[in-house]
Amino acid sequence: MSEEAPPQPAHSSFARPWLLLLSVFAIATCGLVYELIAGTLASYLLGDSVTQFSTIIGVYLFAMGVGSWLSRFIRGDLIAFFIRVEFLIALIGGCSAAVLFLLFGWAASFRIPLYGIVFLIGVQVGTEIPLLLRILEGRFAFKDLVSNVFSFDYVGALLASLLFPLVLVPHLGLVRSAFLFGLINAAVGILALVMLKDEIQRPRGLWITGGVVTAVLLAGILQGDAITRWGEYAAFSDPVIFAKSTPYQRIVITKNRDDLRLFLNSNLQFSSRDEYRYHEALVHPGLSSLPDARRVLILGGGDGLAAREVLRYPRIKSITLVDLDPAMTRLFSSQEMLRAQNNGSLTSPKLHIENADAFTWLAAKREPFDFVIIDFPDPSNFSLGKLYTTSFYQRLAQSMSPAAALVVQSTSPYVARKSFWCVDATLRSCGFQTRPYHALVPSFGEWGYILASKEAITTQLALPDGLRFVNAEVVDQMFRFPPDMARVDTDINRLNNQALVRYFDDEWAEYLH
Amino acid sequence: MNRRRFIQVSAVAPALMLGSCRNQVVPGSIIGAAHRAGHLLRDGKTSAAPSKTAKTDVLILGGGVAGLAAARQLARRGITDFLVLELESQSGGNSQGGRNSVSAYPWGAHYVTLPGPDCHEVRELFEELGLIAGHDAAGRPIYDELALCADPQERLFIHGQWQEGIAPSAGLTSDEQRQFREFREEMSRWSETKGADGRPAFTIPVDRSSRDPTILELDQLTMAAWMDAKGWTCEPLRWQVDYSCRDDFGGGEDEVSAWAGIHYFASRRPDAANADHDTVLTWPEGNAWLAERLAESAKGRIRNHALVLNVTEQSSGVQVDVMNTTDGHGGEIMRFVCRAVVCAMPRFIAQRIISNLKPLDQPPVYSPWVVANLALDELPPSPGELPAWDNVVYGGPSLGYVNATHQNLTAVPRETVITHYEALCGSPPARLREWMLTQTHAQWCDRIFSALAAPHPDLAAHVQNIDVWLWGHGMVRPTPGFISGTTRTVMQQHQPPVFFAHSDMSGVSLFEEAFTRGTQAADAAIRFLG
Ligand SMILES: Cc1cc2nc3c(=O)[nH]c(=O)nc-3n(C[C@H](O)[C@H](O)[C@H](O)COP(=O)(O)OP(=O)(O)OC[C@H]3O[C@@H](n4cnc5c(N)ncnc54)[C@H](O)[C@@H]3O)c2cc1C
C-alpha cells in the first residue's frame, strides 16, 4: 500500500499509517461490543430479548447515522477532536454496563438512560470513522484508503461478534467486558496522541483527559464484580435472593425483612405485604357466589397464591393449574419460604399442575370447569395479547359448565382505562355477561378484574373465614366505578387486530412519562 | 463515500461472518416441480403401449385447486364415479404444502383475501368449512378468527428499520406523499366504479368484472405506462406498485397490463363483521389447508404420480393414457375410457396432450417462481417493528418471506419456518426457466441470503435447512391485451366431452379463480352427462 501512497512531505511524522488502521479495527470492535452489551443487558433486565435487541439495534443504527452526518460539521483541529471522541467513547461505552446496572433501580424510566446511552455511543461511533477517514486523507491514495478502512472495520466487527459470546460474557461478565473495551478505546486515543503529537497544538489537556479516563476504567475492571452485585441489589431495591432465566422469562425474587417480592421480566407480580388484597379480590367475589362450584381452573398463577385462596373452600374438589413455565411451579412448590407464602397450595392433593401453553391446552375440550381464574401477565406484547382475545375466550367457554363463571385480572382501570374496558367489551362480544370490579392494592395501585358468566350471577357472598381484605361491604364498593375509571367505548380485542396490546402500550407509556 | 454501507457493515459484519462460515453447507435440496417427468411429455418420450384399461364416468386431469374443486362439485351433485389424475406425489398443485418437525408450511399459494359478494361460490365453500361461522345482523360474514391473519399482518424493511404495513410511509417528501394520496384516491374510485353494463369495474372472479370498453382500454397498456401517464413517478410508490404486480402476477409493472395492476388494488370489497377489509385468511401450510379440505371430497379417488399423456376422442368415449411415474421416470402406462374429461391442467400442457386442440394464436405467458422454505432455530431480531406474517424488504428482487408459525397460538415460539418468495421477471420467461435449471442449491441459498441481508445479515447462522422449489410455469401473467383479448375466450370454450377448468384462463392466478373455474367446469360436465 505504501508504494501507491502519494508523496507525504508535510506529514512525515505520520510514518506508520497501519497503526491508525489498527485503530479502525479496534474502534469497530468496541462499537459493536457496546451495542451487544446494551442489548444483552436489556434482555437480561427487561426480558423479551427479541424486542430489546430490535429496539437497541434500531437506536444504535439511527445514532450512527446522526453521528456520521454531524461529523461533516467538524472543522479545525481534526486530530484533537478525534482523540477527544475516543476518550469520550471510552468513558461512556466503558462505563455503560455498570451505569445501566446501577440505574435499573428506577425500573419505570430505565429505558430512558438505556436508549440515551446507546444513542450517545452510536453518535460517537458514527463520528469517529468519517473523522479518521478525513485525517487519513492525503496520506493514502483515497481509493485504497477507503477499502482499507472498510476491511479493517469489517474484521474488527467480526472479532467482536466472536469474542462476545465465546469469551467476554462467560469469563468477564457484562460489566467488566464494557470496562475492558473502554480501555481499548482509550488506548487508541493515547496511541494517536503519541504518534501525532507534532500535529497537535496543545496536547497537555488531552494527556490529562486520557489519564483520568484510563484510571476510571482500570478501577472499574478491578471493581467489576462488586458493581454487578451492587447493581442487582439496587435494581430491585431489595436484596435479590433468587434469580433465574428460563426459556420463558426471567424470575427474580427479592426479600427485605418481611417483604418478599416476585418479579417476572422485572414486572412486579406480588409483594408479600399486600398480595392478599390482590388475590382475595381476584378469587372471592366470584367463587363465593357459586355455591355449586366444585372444579376450578387457574390459568397462569404459577405462584400458587390464587390456589391458596381457592383452597379455603372445602367444597372445591379439584383445581387444575395451567402455567407455561415449569420452573415457576417447581420453585413455588418446593422452596420453603415460598411455600409458606402460598400455604403449600401447589402440593395440595386437590391440585393438579399442567405446564402448558393455555391457548393450546384449551384446544382440546377439557372437563367442564365451574370457575375459571385467569391470572396472566398484563398484555404487554403480542404473545400475551393473544390470551385476551375473542378466540381465547370462545375456546375457554367450551370447557366451562353452563352455570360457570370466570374472572380475569385486567390491568389497572385507572392507568389503562381503555385496556380494562377493552377486556370487558371483548368478553361481552363472546356472549358473556360481565361484572367489572376493582380493588386497591398499594404496591400496584388501583387494580381491575372482570367477572364474566353466560348466565347472570348475583354476588351472594358466602365468604370463608380468615380473610383480611374482602368482606361484604368491601365487595359492594368494588363494583362501583368512580367517573375517572368509568366505562369507555373500545374495540374488541381479536387475534387479527391485537387492539388490547395497542391500548395497553399507549396508556402505560403515557402514564410512565 | 458510502455512509450507508459503512453503517450496515459495522452493524452486521459479525453476523455476516458467522453466517458465511456456515453457509457453505446449508443442508437441503431442490425439490418439487416434477419437471423431469413433465419433460418426458415435452420431448415426446412416452409412446409405449398401455398395459391395462379401465372405465370411469368422469376423469379430472390435474389435482390442483381447480381439479379438486371440480371433484368436490361432482361429489356434491351425486356423481361418484370419477378419478383425479395428478402428476405430483400430493395433490394441491400450486397450493400444496410441506411439513417438518416444527411446523407445516406452504410451497406456493399462502393466503386468500376475504371474498366479496361476487365470489359467492367461494363464500359458500367457506361456510361449509366453518371459515365463515355465521353472519351478523347486517348480514356480514363472521370469520373464524383463528384463520384470519393474526396481527401484525405485514411489515416493510426500509431505511434500515422495519415499519408497519407494506406501503412505504417513513421519510416521504411532501410530493411523494401527494402521489401516494392521489394513487390511493384513484384506486378507491376504481373500486367503487361500475361499468356501463352495471357490473363493477374490477372484481373477483375476473370475468364478473365489467366488459365496458372504456374500462377494458386499460388492458392495452402496461401498468408502468399508465402510472407514467398519471405523473406518478416517485420511487417509493412505483416500488409498491411493482411489488404488488410481481406478488400477484409474477411480472413487473412494465410486464403486466394496467387493468391487472389496478385490479390488484380495486377488486376487493369484502364486508366482514370481524375483520378489516385488507385482512387475509391464512394457515401455517398456506392454501394447502384449503386444498386438503377439498381433497377430502375426492377421498380414494385421487391417483398421484399419474402423468397424463394424451386425450383422444373415440366413438367409445374419451380415451386417456396415463403413465405411472412413481419411480421418477417413465413407468407403466394405463388407458382410461370415460364419458367426460375435466381438464384442470395448465393450457400449455393441455395443448400437447389433447388431440385436435387448435393451437392458440397467442399462447399465454407463464411467470417462473422460486419458493424456498427455511427452517430456522429462531427468527433473528432486527430493528424496528416486530415480526409480522408477511415480511417484505424494500427494493431488490425478492418478495420477502412469510412466517409459518405466525398463526401459532403458543406463547413463545422459537424455532420457525419462513417461506421466501421470488417471481423471476424482467427477462423473457423461457430464458429465465432455462437459467433457473442451471442454478445449484448453494446458489439459491446465496441468492436468498443476499435478498434478506439488509434486515437479517445473520440469517445463515440461524438456518438449519433450506429446501427450494422451482415453479417453471408458476402462474399465468396478465400481459397487456390478455385479459381483454380473444385468447382467453378461446381457452374458456368447453369442447364437450372435454371441459376446461384451470385458473390460467382467468388471466390472473388466484384461489378464487381456480375454485370457481373448477366448480363451473364440473357443472358443465354434469349438464353434458345429463
Ligand atoms: C409461488 C406461488 C404463490 C402463489 N400464491 C398465491 C396466493 O397466495 N394466493 C392465491 O390465491 N393464489 C396464489 N397462487 C396462485 C395459485 O396458482 C392458485 O391459487 C391456484 O392454486 C391455482 O390452481 P389451479 O388448479 O388452477 O392450477 P395448478 O395448481 O397449476 O394445478 C394444475 C395441476 O395439474 C397437474 N398436472 C399438470 N400436468 C399434468 C399432467 N400431464 N398429468 C397430470 N397432472 C398434471 C399439476 O401437477 C397441478 O397439480 C400462487 C402461485 C404460485 C406459483
* Residue range(s) defining the domain that contains residue B251: 135-148+154-278
The verdict on residue B353 lying in a domain is yes
Q: Are B518 and B459 within one domain?
A: no
User: What is the domain count for chain B?
Assistant: 3
Query: A312-340 pLDDT, tens per residue?
Result: 999 999 999 999 999 999 999 998 889 99
The verdict on residue A253 lying in a domain is yes
Q: How far is A314 from chain B (nearest CA, A)?
A: 34
Q: Are A280 and A224 within one domain?
A: no
The verdict on residue B264 lying in a domain is yes
Q: Are A78 and A158 within one domain?
A: yes
- Out of A232, A257, A281, a domain closes at A232
Centroid of ligand 1 to alpha carbon of B318 (angstroms): 25
Centroid of ligand 1 to alpha carbon of B65 (angstroms): 7
Residue A241: per-residue pLDDT: 76
Q: How far is CA A459 from CA A449, A456, B385, in A?
A: 14, 10, 44
Residue A156: per-residue pLDDT: 63
Q: Are B162 and B224 within one domain?
A: yes
B13 reaches A (C-beta below 8 A): yes
Q: Are A69 and A173 within one domain?
A: yes
Residues in chain B closer than 8 A to A389 (CB atoms): 145
| Phi, psi for A410 (deg, rounded to 5) | -130, 40
Q: Are A492 and A411 within one domain?
A: yes
- Out of B278, B302, B328, a domain closes at B278
Q: Are A323 and A214 within one domain?
A: no
Q: Cβ neighbours of residue B209 under 8 Å, at least 6 residues apart?
A: B195, B199, B200, B201, B202, B203, B215, B263, B267
- pLDDT > 90: what percent of chain B? 79
Taking residue A375's Cβ as centre, other Cβ atoms within 10 Å add up to 24
Residue B301: per-residue pLDDT: 96
- Out of A204, A232, A260, a domain closes at A232
pLDDT at A191 over 80: yes
Residues B74-93 have a mean pLDDT of 95
d(CA B53, CA B332): 12
Nearest CA in chain A to B16: A158
| Closest ligand 1 atom to B509 CA | 15
Residue A1: per-residue pLDDT: 36
Residues in chain B closer than 8 A to A32 (CB atoms): 10-11, 13-14
Q: Are A353 and A248 within one domain?
A: no
The verdict on residue B194 lying in a domain is yes
Task: Indicate the burial class of A156 (C-beta count within 10 angstroms; 0-12, 13-18, 19 or more).
Answer: buried
Q: Are A164 and A218 within one domain?
A: yes
Query: B354-403 pLDDT, tens per residue?
Result: 998 999 999 999 999 999 999 999 898 888 888 999 999 999 889 999 99
pLDDT band at A221 (very low <50, low <70, confident <90, very high): confident
Q: Are B274 and B323 within one domain?
A: no
Which 8-state DSSP code applies to residue B430?
A: H
The verdict on residue A6 lying in a domain is no
- How is chain B split among helix, strand and coil, in percent rounded to 5? 35, 25, 40
CATH number at residue B248: 1.10.405.10
Q: How far is B206 from chain A (nearest CA, A)?
A: 28
**Is there an atom of ligand 1 within 6 Å of B202 CB?**
no
pLDDT at B467 over 90: yes
Amino acid at A223: Q
pLDDT band at A106 (very low <50, low <70, confident <90, very high): low
**Is there an atom of ligand 1 within 6 Å of B320 CB?**
no
Nearest CA in chain B to A35: B11
Give the least confident one: A249-253, B106-110, B378-382, B514-518.
Answer: A249-253
Residues A39-55 have a mean pLDDT of 72
* Residue range(s) defining the domain that contains residue A172: 14-232
Q: What is the mean pLDDT of chain A?
A: 84
CATH number at residue A377: 3.40.50.150
Q: Are B94 and B233 within one domain?
A: no
The verdict on residue B497 lying in a domain is yes
Residues in chain B closer than 8 A to A64 (CB atoms): 7, 10-11
Q: Are B516 and B386 within one domain?
A: no
CATH number at residue A65: 1.20.1250.20
Of B146, B381, B386, the CB nearest to A495: B146
Residue B421: per-residue pLDDT: 98
Taking residue B464's Cβ as centre, other Cβ atoms within 10 Å add up to 15
The verdict on residue A8 lying in a domain is no
| Closest ligand 1 atom to B68 CA | 25
Of B7, B16, B379, the CB nearest to A65: B7
Residues B93-120 have a mean pLDDT of 95
CATH number at residue B57: 3.50.50.60
B137 reaches A (C-beta below 8 A): no
The verdict on residue A5 lying in a domain is no
d(CA A157, CA A149): 12
Element (H, E) at B79: none
**Is there an atom of ligand 1 within 6 Å of B371 CB?**
yes
pLDDT at B293 over 80: yes
In this structure, the residue with its CA closest to atom 52 of ligand 1 is B108
Q: Are A383 and A357 within one domain?
A: yes
d(CA A179, CA A223): 10
User: What is the domain count for chain A?
Assistant: 3
Give the least confident one: A44-53, A149-158, B350-359, B372-381.
Answer: A149-158
Residue A64: per-residue pLDDT: 87
Q: Say whether the ipTM exceeds 0.95.
A: no
pLDDT at A15 over 70: no
Taking residue B315's Cβ as centre, other Cβ atoms within 10 Å add up to 4
pLDDT at A133 over 60: yes
pLDDT at B8 over 50: no
Q: Are A199 and A329 within one domain?
A: no
Centroid of ligand 1 to alpha carbon of B94 (angstroms): 3
Q: Per the residue annotation, which of A323, A370, A375, A378 is the catalytic one?
A: A375
**Is there an atom of ligand 1 within 6 Å of B207 CB?**
no
Q: Are B412 and B463 within one domain?
A: yes
pLDDT band at A44 (very low <50, low <70, confident <90, very high): low
Residue B413: per-residue pLDDT: 58
pLDDT at A420 over 60: yes
Q: Are A31 and A101 within one domain?
A: yes
**Residue with the larger pLDDT of the pair A31 and B205:** B205
Give the least confident one: A84-88, A449-453, B120-124, B344-348.
Answer: A84-88
pLDDT at B7 over 90: no
Whether A465 sits among the annotated catalytic residues: the reply is: no
Q: Are B297 and B272 within one domain?
A: no
Cell 362501583 sits on residue: A480
Q: With an 8 Å Cβ cutoff, are A382 and B161 in contact? A: no
**Is there an atom of ligand 1 within 6 Å of B369 CB?**
yes
Q: With an 8 Å Cβ cutoff, are A157 and B148 in contact? A: no
pLDDT at A493 over 70: yes
In this structure, the residue with its CA closest to atom 10 of ligand 1 is B510
The verdict on residue B51 lying in a domain is yes
The verdict on residue B108 lying in a domain is no
Q: Are A430 and A419 within one domain?
A: yes
Q: Are B382 and B446 within one domain?
A: yes
Residue B239: per-residue pLDDT: 97
d(CA B500, CA B387): 41
pLDDT band at A146 (very low <50, low <70, confident <90, very high): low
Q: With an 8 Å Cβ cutoff, are B11 and A64 in contact? A: yes
Q: How far is B132 from chain A (nearest CA, A)?
A: 14
B62: left (phi over 0), alpha (psi -120 to 50) or beta: left
pLDDT at A9 over 70: no
Residues B110-135 have a mean pLDDT of 96
pLDDT at B496 over 90: yes
Q: What is the CA radius of gyration of chain B?
A: 23
Pairing type for strands B317-324 and B306-314 reads antiparallel
- Out of B261, B278, B295, a domain closes at B278
Taking residue B144's Cβ as centre, other Cβ atoms within 10 Å add up to 16
Q: With an 8 Å Cβ cutoff, are A357 and B410 in contact? A: yes
Nearest CA in chain A to B275: A496
Q: Are B259 and B142 within one domain?
A: yes
| pTM as predicted | 0.81
The verdict on residue B10 lying in a domain is yes
Q: Are A298 and A286 in contact (CB under 8 A)?
A: no
pLDDT band at B1 (very low <50, low <70, confident <90, very high): very low
- Measured in whole angstroms, the distance separating CA B259 from the mean position of its chain's CA atoms is 19
Residues in chain B closer than 8 A to A136 (CB atoms): none
pLDDT band at B334 (very low <50, low <70, confident <90, very high): very high
- Out of B224, B259, B278, a domain closes at B278
Give the least confident one: A192-196, B178-182, B442-446.
Answer: A192-196
CB-defined contacts A:B, below 8 A? 147
The verdict on residue B116 lying in a domain is no
Half-sphere exposure of B405 (CA within 13 A, CB side): 21
Residues in chain A closer than 8 A to B134 (CB atoms): none
CATH number at residue B403: 3.90.660
pLDDT band at B25 (very low <50, low <70, confident <90, very high): confident
- pLDDT > 90: what percent of chain A? 45
Query: B228-277 pLDDT, tens per residue?
Result: 999 999 999 999 999 999 999 999 999 999 999 999 999 998 889 999 98
Pocket test for ligand 1, best of B89, B433, B500, B509 (most atoms within 8 A of CB): B509
**Is there an atom of ligand 1 within 6 Å of B112 CB?**
yes
Q: Are A131 and A249 within one domain?
A: no
Residues in chain A closer than 8 A to B381 (CB atoms): 49-51, 53-54, 57
pLDDT at B452 over 60: yes
Query: B140-187 pLDDT, tens per residue?
Result: 999 999 999 999 999 999 988 899 999 999 889 999 999 999 999 999
pLDDT band at A2 (very low <50, low <70, confident <90, very high): very low
The verdict on residue A298 lying in a domain is yes
Q: With an 8 Å Cβ cutoff, are A498 and B14 in contact? A: no
Residue B9: per-residue pLDDT: 38
Q: With an 8 Å Cβ cutoff, are B384 and A54 in contact? A: yes
